[in-house]
Structure 1
């Protein structure tokens, strides 16, 4: 039997449709059963009376980093009693990456996490993280004045294809640590170029083997700084398919970077260590110099406990210029959580990178200021007056670089670190190491 509509029923239907249309946007459900809003909604808005539990995965498992992050997080949750921040600390960035990849595969990622640039590129390619542009421009976003307060180089570091997918957090760069008491006693000023560094390492080394110039855990980063300082240019070809450090004149500089310190290791001037053993050597005054990031400052200070004065200097320059590697992670927001949960995660992210939070974080940990207003603030000026060498890292920001954002570069990083170490220990020639670096890196880049 054919169904017919009565006039009152028809009128009611029309009124219902009009009422729904007047509501503006509608909600849908994504493929993981989470609430999702249309593009007309503001992604930064959330229900302030609702209880939220935010998972933040990070790698601050010990020391001043852990303490500083925990204190800032408590400050945030005290101000937002409806929000619980679950700090999931892993023992290393390698572990963090492994756990993130597994959680993404299981469709159970955290709302927010520390990420390196090449991780984020892969996550973006697989649609695992969100662009931060809509959050930045939202009602609870960041004004153009606030965005211009961040160091341009650090903002650019967080961009993929011209869009902001990461915001800077714990950024650092490599510096030269030195025992100021020893240098003062021997009337040596901190070296400013590689020739001076090599000479000074020899001067402070004792013939009985009780003290050497430099303790170093070799990595791709020290090699890449030497490569750039000697005159090397790009690390990867413009199409991202092969390495550039073995092409044309770059090959000479790449080989030179492998060879530069090898004779000093052989003569006992440079001591090759593993992992963080260089910190023990420096703190116990077995080595006079060390190369690491500014983030190592708090760990060294805790070990040295005022036994001697130590300072930082810029990495000495070479004929190609003065360079340092930009270290540290950024913050990204992940898909796979509800929109309002991610909005709260954004609010927490904003808090962590605010001027006040970053000022506290820098002083407690030794990381770089990520905002120019922090560096120029009265609070930091007073801090730098007390610890003048702490300004060095920030003064090098314009000379800091990241070799490559490509996901395949991770395999290259591991290979170069191993080959660099083999050359320093006399287990491989620089020619053989460079050939292996090229082959393994190209394989990684094309996967």
Structure 2
């Protein structure tokens, strides 16, 4: 063990000594990505001893990532490479911060290395690509099979929200006071609010205005209300909910596939963890694809060349295939994904997300100067429902009307 450590240290020192270009990289969600990012950087530096990857401290979430980049663009303190939510590349294009990547991508990359339209189009604006997807996720349901079996006699979960609320209510009655369920409603970018609306075939925006205020939105906000009134969902902060689920104190947890690696590590052998697909996606319904894109911010030509080599490695077939080995995310590069068939066959919890991919649709970005503020407005309004403050009677529908009006004003 000691010999291996000394060898690794020597390689790291040698690589650092040889490097003549350093690129600064910043990414969010250290609890999800630290292991993966460090491994990718190590592998990249060994293959490119003239380039050193230097990480800044993690962004807290995707909103934090975008806000910091927009501030740093003013003070000229940008990292060379930044990881942004798939719904947050648009504002960096609108402000002329992100560098178009098409100039670096060859025809061979497009035909042999996985840089097809599915890789290029999510962050394409006015015919140019300003980000490449690095890791993608889908909304799924995690559950503590031990608690579910104690409550129902079955170690499986039904596929309707109404029945899930019933299971959660039974878990609430178990000894030890576990909580029945938590829906990660306040996840970044209102992602799980959009998931409910889109699962019913609803649009989020239409002709520059809110489109989630119709029948699908009314259904969606009714589900959030019932999570409080029927399942007695606690008003937790999401980090507290993650810890509580990992400790075995929540029975059902609806969130991103991205949490799978973290949950597996925190749960260990405390209980049996299972996953199922997002419930009640009707014919024609879709789900927003989550995850992040890697964006080049470097202005210096030499830095850009080094940054592109790094970006190409981590989004290409070799680097991208490492993603599910460290996280619950999936590789968007289809060449990388095709090499993982055996991995997914052996891991049913990971396979749940892959089975959801046919439902994948755009994670809508609210355009204009108020895009980030709109996210906060939606979150604040939804909290009045999930907290129970406005969860009964016609109040949820009234919240939807008020929320839609506020968002439309900010879209003007």
Aligned to 1:201: 168
Deviation readout 1:285-326 (Å, 9 max, x if unpaired): 222110111111122122212111102211012445554332
Aligned to 1:178: 143
Aligned to 1:142: 109
2:25 and 2:59 map into 1 onto residues whose CA distance is 14
Alignment counterpart, residue 397 of structure 1, candidates 357, 366, 372: 357
2:397 and 2:341 map into 1 onto residues whose CA distance is 48
| 1:185-224 correspondence to structure 2 within 5 Å | 186-206=153-173, 210-219=177-186, 220-224=190-194
Is the 2:113–2:317 Cα contact (8 Å) retained in structure 1? no
Alignment counterpart, residue 71 of structure 1, candidates 36, 39, 45: 39
Aligned to 1:29: none
Aligned to 1:383: 343
Could you list the runs of 5+ residues in structure 1 that have no partner in the other structure?
1-48
1:421 shift after superposition: 1.8
1:101 and 1:318 map into 2 onto residues whose CA distance is 36
Alignment counterpart, residue 113 of structure 1, candidates 82, 90, 98: 82
Aligned to 1:167: 132
Aligned to 2:409: 443
1:280 and 1:107 map into 2 onto residues whose CA distance is 38
Partner SS state of residue 366, structure 2: coil
Aligned to 2:220: 257
TM (norm. structure 1) is 0.78
Is the 2:99–2:297 Cα contact (8 Å) retained in structure 1? yes
2:57 and 2:323 map into 1 onto residues whose CA distance is 17
Aligned to 1:362: 324
Could you list the runs of 5+ residues in structure 2 that have no partner in the other structure?
1-17
1:178 and 1:107 map into 2 onto residues whose CA distance is 46
Which protein has the larger Cα radius of gyration, Structure 1 or Structure 2? 1
Partner SS state of residue 214, structure 1: strand
Is the 2:90–2:123 Cα contact (8 Å) retained in structure 1? no
Inter-CA distance 363–128: structure 2 relative to 1 (3 Å threshold):
same
1:209 shift after superposition: 7.5
| 1:52-71 correspondence to structure 2 within 5 Å | 52-61=21-30, 63=31, 65-71=33-39
Is the 1:228–1:321 Cα contact (8 Å) retained in structure 2? no
Deviation readout 1:226-276 (Å, 9 max, x if unpaired): 2223342x21122x2x21222xxxx23212211224234134542331121
Aligned to 1:103: 72
Alignment counterpart, residue 327 of structure 1, candidates 290, 295, 309: 290
| Residue 54 (structure 2) pairs with residue 86 (structure 1) | yes
Is the 1:175–1:291 Cα contact (8 Å) retained in structure 2? yes
1:169 shift after superposition: 0.6
1:405 and 1:399 map into 2 onto residues whose CA distance is 18
Alignment counterpart, residue 426 of structure 1, candidates 374, 384, 388: 388
1:105 shift after superposition: 0.8
Alignment counterpart, residue 94 of structure 2, candidates 125, 128, 131: 125
1:322 and 1:189 map into 2 onto residues whose CA distance is 24
Inter-CA distance 364–263: structure 2 relative to 1 (3 Å threshold):
closer
Inter-CA distance 412–182: structure 2 relative to 1 (3 Å threshold):
same
Alignment counterpart, residue 196 of structure 2, candidates 214, 221, 226: 226
Inter-CA distance 178–323: structure 2 relative to 1 (3 Å threshold):
farther
How large is the RMSD of aligned CA atoms in angstroms?
2.5
1:403 shift after superposition: 4.3
2:39 and 2:223 map into 1 onto residues whose CA distance is 43
TM (norm. structure 2) is 0.84
1:161 and 1:196 map into 2 onto residues whose CA distance is 46
Alignment counterpart, residue 238 of structure 2, candidates 266, 270, 275: 275
1:343 shift after superposition: 1.1
Aligned length: 383
Is the 1:415–1:441 Cα contact (8 Å) retained in structure 2? yes
